[in-house]
């Protein structure tokens, strides 16, 4: 992009607000929602157990432009539903993780309405940057509440990747969408539970995964759980674990050749303070300051002696605002983009073998004509779900066994989708290109612009398909269990029916014989039970000896 274009874009960004996204990740109950409200000095986010939002005055600098919505929801089935209403009081009833997004406009200009005491005390943090920030806060609900949390990891990193994909698809369009919103996440705050025991395996894994897509800052939540000495020890333990397990969290590194003295000092101070330990609260005192009120006294959440909240606020909206944006764009996103485009380049090499004419086949699906195929009905909606190529997609062993036995409607649908998908891939691969004597750069650009959106869509579809297969296997297992239960019940009913028949045959009152037979069945059953329990006990004793 030319420098004039960059300038023009920056100017436009400054006018409508610079997009900035922060993600909050951490186990349920670590205080993410409370922290988010404290960060914005405003009761924007409702709590799972309800919150008297009306009692808390709002920050005049913060305006919600898009209320909290569920952007990706993962039930155990793995079927996401996008952009639905978020109900905080019901979120915990659903399995998996719920990702929500809230967009706010934060005014940072000096001409803004006079701020309240709580805001003015910290307004410097908002002021070093553009007049308006289009702030997107992404929160995660339900992490750590499942027996298997790996699905949460996938869902969260899937969301981050999707935001990169959207920018990549937009960049490779010939005609750009002027209303495109960049929702890439610039910082993830990872909330560590105040256990005092360093990082858990889950923390290490999650932070590693997040750091592929965003700057990760580890945060100690509910820091008021510690004494001064305990907190300092816990911080050290966490940083040791970060080093030990090579967790690529954001480090406040300095470059003595590039950075000025002030920056060096600031970064060195922040590096020593890491991981930031925060205290948050919904309660305010009469001065409008957030406090935690205890029988032995009040604690201000902005007090730097007990909480790093204020420092963190400055890092996020002040000193490192541009740095986080630049690292996301120039390092994380560029790496991701290079990786993705290299897969497309491989496709290009393959299709180079098929060069036969000088004219491009305009029927090769770009995202725009892909969309028009759907709207004109030439491309059936079910076909928009593609199927993974067999070699790429891991499937569970049970799934394979099951698929041999049952050709379910889901599987049939899968197969038809797979055929449709492969057909399109072949179309792209085989579409004739202009030969190298034409305008190679232009041709390549056009090819990429047509192929990239499709590749991205294809990959997302593969993931969806995989989840559908998992769902199918799960339902098959549940069905099998249910059949066994029903068979057992049927056996019991048959036995009871037999006894009743015998009673009936011997007259209305149970005869001696039938009573005897009932007794014998009962005694036989109890004998079996006795034998079973004896065997069990014996086996336990034997096992022990
Ligand atoms: N002691 C203490 N309690 C806190 C702190 N921050 C939040 N809490 C309390 O912790 C509880 C959970 O806080 P939330 O903000 O709802 O936690 P969350 O991480 O958003 O929870 P989910 O929405 O379930 O993911 C609430 O009762 C808060 O008042 C803190 O710094 N110290």
- 30 or 352: whose pLDDT is higher? 30
Beta sheet of 215-220, edge-to-edge order = 84-85, 62-73, 98-107, 132-141, 18-26, 187-192, 215-220, 276-277
Residue 459: what pLDDT? 67
Contacts of 387 (CB under 8 A, 6+ apart): 414, 415, 417, 418, 421, 461, 462, 465
Report the separation in Å between the CA atom of 209 and the middle of ligand 1, taken as the mean of its atom positions.
Answer: 24
Question: Which of 328, 189, 319 lies closest to 254, judged by CA?
Answer: 319
Predicted confidence (pLDDT) per residue in 430-467, tens digit? 655 544 445 556 666 666 666 666 666 666 677 667 77
Over residues 261-275, the pLDDT tens digits come to 888 989 999 999 999
pLDDT value for 8 = 56
pLDDT tens digit sequence for 213-252: 999 999 999 999 889 999 999 999 999 999 999 999 998 9
With the CA atoms of 306, 312, 315 and 318 taken in that order, what torsion angle do they form, in degrees rounded to the nearest 10? -90
Pick from 246, 72, 231: nearest CA to 162: 72
In the prediction, which pLDDT does 4 show?
A: 55
Range scoring the smallest mean pLDDT among 35-49, 103-117, 285-299, 476-490: 103-117
Domain positions in the chain are 16-338, 354-481
- Burial string for 82-103 (b: 16+ CB within 10 Å, else e) reads eeeebebeebeebebbbbbbbb
Residue 456 CA to residue 435 CA, distance in Å, equals: 26
Q: Tokens in use for 191? A: 């909330």
pLDDT at 61: 82
On the question of pLDDT at 115 being above 70, the answer is no
65 confidence band (pLDDT: 50, 70, 90): confident
For residues 505 and 520, give the distance between their C-alpha atoms in angstroms, rounded to a whole number: 18
pLDDT the model gives residue 511: 46
**Average pLDDT over the chain, rounded to whole?**
72
Residue 487 pLDDT > 80: yes
Burial of 363 (0-12, 13-18, 19+ CB in 10 A): exposed
As a whole number of angstroms, the distance between CA 344 and CA 452 comes to 7
> What average pLDDT does range 159-182 have in this prediction?
84
Confidence of residue 414 (pLDDT cuts 50, 70, 90): low
First to last CA, the chain: 77
For residue 379, which phi and psi values (nearest 5 degrees)?
-120, 110
What average pLDDT does this structure show over 129-139?
83
Which residue, 462, 467, 460, is CA-closest to 396? 467
For residue 544, pLDDT beyond 70: no
What pLDDT is attached to residue 416? Answer: 64
Q: In this model, does residue 531 exceed pLDDT 50?
A: no
Q: Which of 72-76, 272-276, 499-503 has the lowest mean pLDDT?
A: 72-76
- The more confident residue out of 58 and 268 is 268
Q: Residue 350: pLDDT band by 50, 70, 90 thresholds?
A: low
| 141 pLDDT higher than 80 | yes
Share of the chain above pLDDT 70, in %: 57
Q: Please report, rounded to a whole number, the percentage of residues in the chain having pLDDT higher than 90.
A: 22
32 lines ligand 1 (CB under 6 A): yes
Q: Which residues pair with 24 in a beta bridge?
A: 139, 189
Average pLDDT over residues 399-406: 43
Closest residue by Cα to atom 10, ligand 1, is 31
Q: Ligand 1 centroid vs 32 CA: distance in angstroms? A: 6
pLDDT, mean of residues 407-427: 61
pLDDT confidence band for 429 (50 / 70 / 90)? low
Q: Is the CB of 68 under 6 A from ligand 1?
A: no
Tell me what the mean pLDDT of segment 206-217 comes to: 93
Ligand 1, residue 223: give the atom nearest the CA: 31
Q: What b-and-e string marks burial along 456-495, b requiring 16 or more CB atoms within 10 Å of the CB?
A: bbbbbbbbbbbbbbbbbbbebeeeeeeeeeeeeeeeeeee
Task: Select from 26, 29, 307 the residue to mutate for testing ligand 1; criterion: most ligand atoms less than 8 Å from CB.
Answer: 29
For 506-516, b/e burial (b = at least 16 CB within 10 A) is eeeebeeebee
Say yes or no: CB of residue 386 within 6 Å of ligand 1.
Answer: no
Contact 38 CB / ligand 1 (< 6 Å): no
Q: How far is the CA of 160 from the centre of ligand 1 (A)?
A: 24
pLDDT of residue 520: 54
Q: Which of 78-82, 389-393, 415-419, 523-527 has the lowest mean pLDDT?
A: 389-393
Q: Is residue 50's pLDDT more than 70?
A: no
Mean pLDDT, rounded, for 344-365: 46
pLDDT of residue 402: 44
Whole-number Å distance, alpha carbon 477 to ligand 1 midpoint, is: 38
- Reduced to 3 states, what is the DSSP secondary structure of residue 292? strand
What is the CATH class of 16-338? Answer: alpha beta
pLDDT exceeds 60 at position 113: no
């Amino acid at each position: 992009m030319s420098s004039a274009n960059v300038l023009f874009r920056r100017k436009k960004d400054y006018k409508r607000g610079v997009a900035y996204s922060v993600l909050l990740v951490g186990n349920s109950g670590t205080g993410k929602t409370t922290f988010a409200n404290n960060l914005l000095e405003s009761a924007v986010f409702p709590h799972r157990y309800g919150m008297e939002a009306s009692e808390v005055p709002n920050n005049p600098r913060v305006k919600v432009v898009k209320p909290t919505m569920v952007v990706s929801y993962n039930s155990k089935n793995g079927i996401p539903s996008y952009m639905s209403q978020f109900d905080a009081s019901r979120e915990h009833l659903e399995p998996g993780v719920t990702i929500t997004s809230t967009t706010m406009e934060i005014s940072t200009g000096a001409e803004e309405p006079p701020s309240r005491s709580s805001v003015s005390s910290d307004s410097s943090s908002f002021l070093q940057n553009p007049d308006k920030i289009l702030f997107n806060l992404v929160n995660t609900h339900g992490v750590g509440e499942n027996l298997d949390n790996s699905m949460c990891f996938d869902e969260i990193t899937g969301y981050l990747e999707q935001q990169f994909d959207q920018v990549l698809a937009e960049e490779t369009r010939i005609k750009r969408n002027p209303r495109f919103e960049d929702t890439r996440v610039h910082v993830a705050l990872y909330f560590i539970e105040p256990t005092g025991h360093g990082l858990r395996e889950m923390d290490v894994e999650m932070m590693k995964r997040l750091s592929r897509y965003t700057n990760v800052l580890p945060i100690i939540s509910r820091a008021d759980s510690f004494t001064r000495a305990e907190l300092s020890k816990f911080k050290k333990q966490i940083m040791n674990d970060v080093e030990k397990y090579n967790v690529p969290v954001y480090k406040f590194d300095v470059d003595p050749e590039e950075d000025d003295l002030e920056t060096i000092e600031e970064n060195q101070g922040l590096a020593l303070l890491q991981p930031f330990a925060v205290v948050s609260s919904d309660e305010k005192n009469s001065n409008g300051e957030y406090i935690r009120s205890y029988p032995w006294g009040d604690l201000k959440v902005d007090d730097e002696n007990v909480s790093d909240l204020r420092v963190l606020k400055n890092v996020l909206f002040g000193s490192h605002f541009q740095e986080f944006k630049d690292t996301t764009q120039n390092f994380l996103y560029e790496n991701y983009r290079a990786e993705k485009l290299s897969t497309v380049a491989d496709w290009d090499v393959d299709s180079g073998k098929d060069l036969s004419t000088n004219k491009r086949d305009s029927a090769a699906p770009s995202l725009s004509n892909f969309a028009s195929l759907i709207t004109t009905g030439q491309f059936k909606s079910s076909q928009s779900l593609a199927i993974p190529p067999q070699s790429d997609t891991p499937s569970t062993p049970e799934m394979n066994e099951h698929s041999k036995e049952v050709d379910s409607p889901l599987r049939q649908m899968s197969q038809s989708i797979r055929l449709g998908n492969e057909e399109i891939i072949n179309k792209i691969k085989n579409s004739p290109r202009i030969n190298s004597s034409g305008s190679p750069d232009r041709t390549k650009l056009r090819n990429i612009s047509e192929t990239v959106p499709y590749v991205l869509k294809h990959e997302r579809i593969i993931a969806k398909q995989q989840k559908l297969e998992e769902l199918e296997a799960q339902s098959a297992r549940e069905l099998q269990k249910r059949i066994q239960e029903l068979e057992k019940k049927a056996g019991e009913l048959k036995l009871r029916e037999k006894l009743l028949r015998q009673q009936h045959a011997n007259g209305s009152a149970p005869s001696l014989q039938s009573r005897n037979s009932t007794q014998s069945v009962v005694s036989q059953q109890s004998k079996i039970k006795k034998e079973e329990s004896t065997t069990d006990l014996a086996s336990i004793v034997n096992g022990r000896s």
